[in-house]
Amino acid sequence: MSHALLNKAVLVIDDDTNLLRALKKVLSAAGADVTCTEWAGDALDILTNRKTRIDLVITDLRMPLVSGITVLYSIHQMFPALPVVVLTAFGSAELRNTCLREGAADFLEKPMDTPQLLAALERVIKAQPAPELVQ
């Protein structure tokens, strides 16, 4: 078992409460300190007002009012070194490339299994190069 998430603070943003609960359970079991929000608008407040660091952000792409791309862009304007992983059930090469160009550390398509998710997050935390753009 990997210990890449051990003691890492992760912020998860997704409007699907069931997915939030599942991600919190998986990430917590891997040793992460997980903060969740259903509303993208809260993410920047959480990031700016939290007393301790956030090591990684996981955001859904399609959410009401504020999209994951907007979240990604905003986070990278304020916290350029903070890795953001984008999740979506509606992936395409174009969307993937847009997210990676905007600074996403990775782009994952739902549904994914736990080992797949943890392996991707481990790569991101270990700061391996971002995935290649799809042609």
Question: What are 83-127's pLDDT values in tens digits?
Answer: 999 999 888 899 999 999 999 999 999 888 899 999 999 999 987
58, with CB counted inside 10 A (0-12, 13-18, 19+), is: buried
The residues facing 107 across adjacent strands are 86
The average pLDDT across 69-85 equals 91
SS3 56: strand
pTM of the full predicted structure? 0.89
End-to-end CA distance of the chain: 34
**pLDDT the model gives residue 3:** 75
- The superfamily in CATH containing domain 9-125 is Response regulator (3.40.50.2300)
Question: What are 11-26's pLDDT values in tens digits?
Answer: 999 999 999 999 999 9
Binned at pLDDT 50, 70 and 90, residue 2 comes out as low
**pLDDT the model gives residue 1:** 47
Question: What are 26-73's pLDDT values in tens digits?
Answer: 999 999 999 999 988 888 888 888 777 899 999 999 888 888 888 899
**pLDDT the model gives residue 133:** 52
C-alpha closest to that of 94 among 107, 85, 76: 107
Task: Give dist(CA 95, CA 119) in Å, integer.
Answer: 22
